Structure 1
């Protein structure tokens, strides 16, 4: 077998169907909607609109949110078709393994793994910071050594982040149906807090704050501000908010009737998220001049207090802190299923692909939790935020192009899905190009770190995966039988 044939050897979709059949299918459309909204509409809805408006866009931040949503929507159509046709654990990793081959599947999955590791550590750290800020006025304060990452502002370990990540892992370990019930309740509370802010904020909007809607372009220390250059910079910064729908697809092996639940969950949660993001952005800018949000860690609280609603501000911020658990639950479920799929296929040690006596992939789950706790405890990683977007955009490009290979096999060795990406063959190409444009807009540091992560993934593949994978051993068995 040539080198090219080796790295492009494709998994039989029936094998994945059989391997994942032990996972219990309990998740319904409402569970996936809650999972998607909970992951997409995370901490960023309360902070990002004000931050982006002050740094890049001015009042036109709503346009940046809409453009980022269009890019995400193009890819979401591809995700919906892929997950309906191949409802396997591991989402993009498993799909690309089937349609393009082992090496390309590994790279797509490895790129997504960066998202889950760093995003979980970020949200855990963010929850810790916000919870400590809420408790401080009550006289409850942890020492610096237990409040920050190692070597940062006198920190040794972020204790609250460690505890919440461990608690979420314990909840998910009890089963996805129980985690989904908690997720559903928390998402309802979080959406309620967002709607409360919107309705109260509408009473304090000043039309003058929207003028000029697109400020004149000029360069700043933070990059472009104003004009379409600023809007483009805002899109690259905002895109991080919309990547959560991958967490839905990663759990498709545990979906009831995935032909219907997956497309409805992916597209429905993204639509709800877009409406909420744009509404919050417009209300936020209408309440207070966007310049005042510069360097503000809590623009929603600032806007509500400026409008004379301090009690509402406290209520919204308190719910927002507990609402962060929804993102942690969603990403923990998705990340653990991705690691499980690596172990299932022998790309990483097969121990990770094992199930417990209740058919739950808890070995992968606790591996994820331990690594995330170490990242959050030991590394100051604020400068790595765009690496989350970089890794996910790489996977998005693979999935968009994968639709072309998928269509050739639908109705043959892959079942004909109930949902198909519309306007084929134009839309998959647009999804790829749009993702590439957003990726190009990331800063150079994000691209460099993404490149470093890619190199590490290639080393692991050629040092371990290429020889230990299920496909490698199956090929060795076949050759042995032929001799």
Structure 2
């Protein structure tokens, strides 16, 4: 009997009509408009993908067909984005995939996806910080500046390296920005995203005059399969709207604006990705593209070294916005889980005037700083993939289940092509998971086991739904 009750307990769902914002000390302020939300989404999508990944995939996997790699990944990402957009208009609360899973698939599913995202998003912040630090060190080298080797990288990444100090400071700076209040932080993000987009447009506008169409031949040097293999790699450069959707509770008119912001941010990013890929592979033969700094090397190759340095600075600015978006995401997931009682309420307390979860923001800031400072980028990157792909699967499945379970709910946006479009998003995400190494699976399994211990040791009894059940049981005795 106890086992039956426990089985029912892990499947308890948050009633969608009763998802409240909590007590005053656990509330967020609705201050983000449509274009601020869109900027946060673009900030999360355009980063290393356009400045680094495009060149690496063109050089190693797809050649000029990297253009198709981004289009394939974009279509698959759009299938998941439609699902996110329907949920964002239906449940405009903090937490994104965690909240959606909790409301539709039950408490244990919601816990797992939220627990995964805490690790994944934090690791992404650290990985991006390490990447920016590498660009920063390169630019310092170009100016002839010399810094002590102990502060230039994690142990084992170079002679004398003991800590990546700049990466750590970036994580703490991002946390500081988020503690200033969402309105001020989003204003900064919007300005920086605008600068990033201008740099990308400059690259496209100048580069188009240096295209040699002979570089497009052969278009499939690695075969058509190379374009699909490239899609599996660049898929991780075409999400970011998922982290942005965690800020739904801070949007002024979330039911209308969140679905639009998700679609706008993906559309803008895909147009820029495709145009940039055309320019990159047209300016330089794919065999000569530098896999680490493709655009900088391409512009140097045509005698525009000065612009190459501008691009390097733009890359630093562009990647910084990714840190902002994903740290925003992890803090809002953590805040939402704590407000629901799955983690201690202490974490859900917000600043009395800025109305942001300051406690979890600083915890995430220090945690990501430690990862960035002491782990090589490869080891940190292995923590980032699987949880996000599983979040996509959960959202695509949940939106389909809810459409048929509760067709009566008012939806500001309806995912088209139901159930086929969500199925494409789920299947593509599952396919990409098969590309992950066994090391990733081991780390993921260990993290899940830790999560199971915490859930059954604390969350199962302390969640707000569990307390409501206990109160109802006491009242009927």
TM-score (norm 2): 0.94
**Does 2:47 correspond to 1:27?**
no
Given the superposition, is the C-alpha separation of residues 14 and 355 from structure 1 closer, same or farther in structure 2, using an over 3 Å criterion?
A: farther
Could you tell me how far apart the structure 1 residues matched to 2:190 and 2:168 are?
23
Q: Which of 335, 341, 356 does residue 340 from structure 1 map onto?
A: 335
**Does 2:443 correspond to 1:449?**
yes
Q: Secondary structure at the match of 1:56?
A: helix
Could you tell me how far apart the structure 1 residues matched to 2:407 and 2:420 are?
21
How much does 1:115 deviate?
2.3
Could you tell me how far apart the structure 2 residues matched to 1:104 and 1:156 are?
40
Q: Secondary structure at the match of 1:348?
A: coil
Q: Which residue of 1 aligns with 2:189?
A: 183
Say what the alpha-carbon RMSD is for the aligned residues: 1.8
**Does 2:238 correspond to 1:235?**
no
Q: Which residue of 1 aligns with 2:209?
A: 203
Q: Secondary structure at the match of 2:119?
A: helix
**Does 2:286 correspond to 1:281?**
no
Given the superposition, is the C-alpha separation of residues 209 and 133 from structure 1 closer, same or farther in structure 2, using an over 3 Å criterion?
A: same
Contact 1:345 1:353 (8 Å CA) reproduced: no
Q: Which of 240, 245, 252 does residue 249 from structure 1 map onto?
A: 245
**Does 2:22 correspond to 1:11?**
no
**Does 2:176 correspond to 1:170?**
yes
Contact 1:236 1:439 (8 Å CA) reproduced: no
Moved more, 465-474 or 303-312: 465-474
Could you tell me how far apart the structure 2 residues matched to 1:463 and 1:375 are?
27
The CA deviation string for residues 71-109 of structure 1, in whole angstroms up to 9 with x for no partner, is 100000000000100011110101110111100011122
Q: Which residue of 2 aligns with 1:308?
A: 303
Contact 1:144 1:155 (8 Å CA) reproduced: yes
Could you tell me how far apart the structure 2 residues matched to 1:410 and 1:23 are?
28
Could you tell me how far apart the structure 1 residues matched to 2:476 and 2:447 are?
39
How much does 1:30 deviate?
0.4
How much does 1:409 deviate?
5.5
Could you tell me how far apart the structure 1 residues matched to 2:147 and 2:463 are?
46
How much does 1:286 deviate?
0.9
Task: Report 1:430-449 matches (<5 A).
Answer: 430-449=424-443
**Does 2:369 correspond to 1:373?**
yes
Given the superposition, is the C-alpha separation of residues 71 and 451 from structure 1 closer, same or farther in structure 2, using an over 3 Å criterion?
A: farther
Q: Which of 119, 128, 137 does residue 133 from structure 2 map onto?
A: 128
Given the superposition, is the C-alpha separation of residues 278 and 447 from structure 1 closer, same or farther in structure 2, using an over 3 Å criterion?
A: farther
Structure 1 unaligned spans of 5+:
216-225
Contact 1:339 1:368 (8 Å CA) reproduced: no
Could you tell me how far apart the structure 1 residues matched to 2:118 and 2:449 are?
14
Q: Which residue of 1 aligns with 2:52?
A: 47
How many aligned residue pairs are there?
470
Could you tell me how far apart the structure 2 residues matched to 1:114 and 1:55 are?
29
Q: Secondary structure at the match of 1:441?
A: coil
Could you tell me how far apart the structure 1 residues matched to 2:465 and 2:418 are?
31
Moved more, 85-94 or 371-380: 371-380
Q: Secondary structure at the match of 1:19?
A: coil
